[in-house]
Structure 1
Amino acid sequence: MNALFRGLFDDAAIFPPGDLPMIGAVAAHRKRQSSPIAPLLGPFVCSLARWDELAEAAAGGPALAVSLTLPGPDSIVPSAPGVDVVAIEVPGHAERGAAITYVELPCAEITVPRAAALAAQDLRLKIRTGGVRAEAFPSEPELAGALWSAVRGGLAFKLTAGLHDPVRHRDPVTGFEHHGFLNVLLATARALQGYDIERTLADQDTERVVRAVAALDEPFAGLIRRHFVSFGTCSITEPVDGLLSHGLLPEEMR
């Protein structure tokens, strides 16, 4: 399997617009863990507000790797049988704790010096790339600036929301312009090479984007993924089907 996609998809099925009930989302995640697409899966994403639901749904099964979103840096991380908190996601500011820690910042606040400072504290970055309102989607220049700064500052990052399809497109229902996760992988590659990345993020030529991603070799894929760690998606099926449709995953993962 292409190293670019290993562990790329964090399971955010309980968040909008997916909004799956907790018990169904946990059951589906565990089922995928024993399926051919298991190597593509990151942790299950849950908010602190729904911890009790999560603990109840996860009880009695194998340990569930969880990335826990917290309302603030002073929130206490709970524990429960069957739940392994492998990462926490905090808005604005945080200090590294026992788990991998992601700090969510607006694109405009992400500069090379700030990225380097976060990396020096062994923190990671979380960037929001969509939502249920048009203003939640950063423009190409905004996202390009944030990604460039993260890469040049030596910082690992994850993205959240809006990345349903591999390539940038306009949603025919909402009219929102969605970033493509393949565009982001390519933009990360180009930033590592020192190139301008705004045009890469804006590229809606599916054939060109897919061809460029397929041409990335495995050693370079490893460098890319040291920065672009994963992204949260409310539907694991959509991005997986997108990769399959473009021939970027082996058919046995179908």
Structure 2
Amino acid sequence: MDPSVRFFMERLIDYAGLFPPAELPLEAAIQNYNRYGHDQDSWMLGRFVVPVSRLGELASYKAMFSEDHPLLLSIVGNRSRSKEECSELLTGSLDRIQTFRNQYQKAVGIDTLEWPLPPVPIGAHLLDAIGRETSKAGLRTFCELTYALDSRWQSNLLEALDHIAAHNSVSEAKIGMKLRTGGVTADAYPAPSQIAIVLEACRDRNIPMKFTAGLHHPVRMYRYEVNAKMHGFLNVFFAGMLAHAHKLDSKSIAEIIEDENPDNFNFTGEGIRWRSLSMTSAEIRSCRKAALSAYGSCSFDEPRDEMRELHKLGQRS
């Protein structure tokens, strides 16, 4: 296996089996996560994604994990409609997280919070509170912007990202962005140009990113179950990484996101290459750490199996 594959795919897939379209019962999802954590592809597996409202239900499965094999969690917060509701939910969620930590102790690791912001203008006061309180709780926080994909989406997005960047410039408690890249219906999928706008904007503002929804397959393709083209995780991460390495504009970034030819996405002994653009393994590793964290998927099998079918990982032993 080329080092570039390892650096690109390591801890890339956060397992979100509780969420649609899989929407598994908790017992099935947690057993899957435990099993994935013990197989040969465990190096690709990130955290178990769980809503904060269901955190207490995991107590029954403590015996499956230990200090040597902890349950690693990314916590998803509840949606809110106002700044005040958002602040109240945050306080309650952090209390739940600490209670759960006390119960699981060293058998659990909770270091990531995925926090939806309300669909209103976001000010410095709310971001300061989120950054301060989640940092005190030892959490790396990715805020999801919940603005509708309408004619005002871009202006709302850029204004919010400007506020996040301003917060990050003066605070050690950095905030990232979580981007939703799909769902169970066609209208949940942002256009390639919209994803490109976000990738360019976050790069220019040094805002780290996490992704969720729709990225089951390596390369963009039409899927009948959603009557739409689903974005590929290779497309999104190649686009984001090459945007950093080559200072690409949104039009060039969108070309990578739109590409449906698997042969254009290559791992080499030196790094990755898409058409004439490349970057080194060291740059991949740095970009994953600082800028492009991971993505949530309700399937772990689909991404890894399809990577093998495309001969991107080698054959299963």
TM-score (normalizing by structure 1): 0.91
Task: Tell me if 1:137 matches 2:144.
Answer: no
Name the structure where helix makes up a greater proportion of residues: 2
Give secondary structure in 1 for the equivalent of 2:90: coil
1:67-124 per-residue CA deviation (whole Å, 9 max, x = no partner) reads 0111143333321314322211111153233211111114734436345235434111
Considering only CA atoms, is the larger Rg found in Structure 1 or Structure 2? Answer: 2
Give secondary structure in 2 for the equivalent of 1:84: strand
Task: Tell me if 1:242 matches 2:282.
Answer: no
Please give the residue correspondences for 1:1-254 in structure 2 after superposition, counting only pairs within 5 Å. 2=5, 3-59=7-63, 61-62=65-66, 63-71=70-78, 72-77=89-94, 78=96, 79=100, 80-81=103-104, 82-92=107-117, 94-95=130-131, 96-97=134-135, 98-106=138-146, 108=154, 109-111=156-158, 113-117=162-166, 119-120=168-169, 121-192=173-244, 193-196=246-249, 197-210=253-266, 214-215=272-273, 216-225=279-288, 226-252=290-316
Shift in Å at residue 20 of structure 1? 1.5
Change (3 A) 1:190 1:60: closer
In structure 2, list runs of 5 or more residues that go unmatched: 79-88, 118-126, 147-152, 274-278
Letter in 1 for 2:193: P
The answer to whether the 8 A contact 1:13-1:233 is kept is yes
Letter in 1 for 2:75: L
Letter in 1 for 2:286: L
Give secondary structure in 2 for the equivalent of 1:74: helix
- The number of residues matched between the two structures is 253
1:137-176 per-residue CA deviation (whole Å, 9 max, x = no partner) reads 1111111101111112111111000001011111123312
- The corresponding residue for 2:83 is none
- Over the aligned positions, Cα root-mean-square deviation in angstroms equals 2.1
Shift in Å at residue 223 of structure 1? 3.1
Structure 1 window deviating more from structure 2 (116-125 vs 13-22): it is 116-125
In structure 1, list runs of 5 or more residues that go unmatched: none
Letter in 2 for 1:223: S
Letter in 2 for 1:220: E
- The corresponding residue for 2:123 is none
Give secondary structure in 2 for the equivalent of 1:58: helix
Q: Distance in 1 between matches of 2:213 and 2:314?
A: 26
Q: Distance in 2 between matches of 1:6 and 1:30?
A: 17
Q: Distance in 1 between matches of 2:311 and 2:267?
A: 10
Change (3 A) 1:140 1:51: same
Change (3 A) 1:222 1:32: same
Change (3 A) 1:146 1:67: same
Letter in 1 for 2:115: V
Shift in Å at residue 21 of structure 1? 1.4
The answer to whether the 8 A contact 2:192-2:257 is kept is yes
Q: Distance in 2 between matches of 1:130 and 1:60?
A: 32
Change (3 A) 1:191 1:214: closer
Change (3 A) 1:157 1:118: farther
Q: Distance in 2 between matches of 1:57 and 1:129?
A: 31
Q: Name the % identity.
A: 26
TM-score (normalizing by structure 2): 0.74
List structure 1 runs of 4+ shifted beyond 6 angstroms.
Answer: none
Q: Distance in 2 between matches of 1:176 and 1:118?
A: 37
Shift in Å at residue 249 of structure 1? 1.5
Change (3 A) 1:60 1:37: closer
